[in-house]
Structure 1
């Protein structure tokens, strides 16, 4: 084999790996969006550090997964009984380019830590219903 054919084989291998990685990202995104109880939500745990992702309702947790990752495991898990809804607001001018268009910023408290989730208003209504539907403190098995 001459040098040109070796370079061609290496470039083809890199191209095939790139295509496979893109297919894996697409398949993961499709699986996440297809599942019941998932919605697009950017998260901010530190001021100004927004990350795009997908939230998923579980029985006792709200799970947040990175958008650009191949891991099936959530990056953050928030215990449902420890989540407290503080309200929502419109995004600031600094936040608008970092979150999805048309989103509102939802303010939550989880174990004394404030976190912000950016989501559509319809999704916010679902999140508030999910939080309110849990058992009352002192009644039920998880609070």
Structure 2
């Protein structure tokens, strides 16, 4: 009896992660997407998933029980900068066949990187370019004198 309880308690986090993933998938298309986090020891990649929701791209940590996104990108203020292939240790740490997309916030000027499959990178660029008319005319740091 004690063994069954110990196994059930040990399996509970995995069951909760599975149920969270199913719930997030049911709320909209979900795709694998790693996020580059700046830390004291340099930039580190965190595995996660992302989805488009209204005028936002929401990013969730893969190994978290939170139902709220950790990072939200607003379509109006997010700008595509460039994309590249993973190099060195990135190629090992990230999803196979992924590309790294660099984004910039037009208001704050901060940049970040997302790693995703090339099809999802193309979808991200299309989503950003199809923003409502006039939304791309926000001043950016490159437009400043």
Shorter-chain TM range is: 0.7 to 0.9
In structure 1, distance between residues paired with 2:67 and 2:46: 17
Question: Which residue is 1:109 aligned to?
Answer: 104
State which of 117, 126, 145 in structure 2 corresponds to 1:120. 117
Deviations 1:43-79 (Å, cap 9, x if unpaired)? 0032531000001111121110010111111011121
In structure 1, distance between residues paired with 2:71 and 2:135: 26
In structure 1, distance between residues paired with 2:6 and 2:72: 35
Q: Does 2:11 align with 1:14?
A: no
Q: Normalized per residue, which structure has more strand?
A: 2
**Could you list the runs of 5+ residues in structure 1 that have no partner in the other structure?**
1-7
Q: CA deviation at 1:33?
A: 3.8
In structure 1, distance between residues paired with 2:20 and 2:4: 24
The size of the alignment, in residue pairs, is: 131
State which of 56, 61, 64 in structure 1 corresponds to 2:59. 64
Matches within 5 A, 1:42-81: 42-46=34-38, 47-81=42-76
Question: Which residue is 1:83 aligned to?
Answer: 78
In structure 2, distance between residues paired with 1:138 and 1:15: 53
Q: Is the 8 A contact 2:76 2:135 kept in 1?
A: no
TM-score of the aligned structures, taking structure 2 as reference length: 0.81
Bigger-Rg structure (1/2): 1
**Could you list the runs of 5+ residues in structure 2 that have no partner in the other structure?**
137-145
Once superposed, what is the RMSD of the aligned Cα atoms?
Answer: 1.9
TM-score of the aligned structures, taking structure 1 as reference length: 0.82
- Quick one: structure 1 residues 138 and 64, their matched pair in 2 at CA, closer, same or farther if it must change by over 3 Å? closer
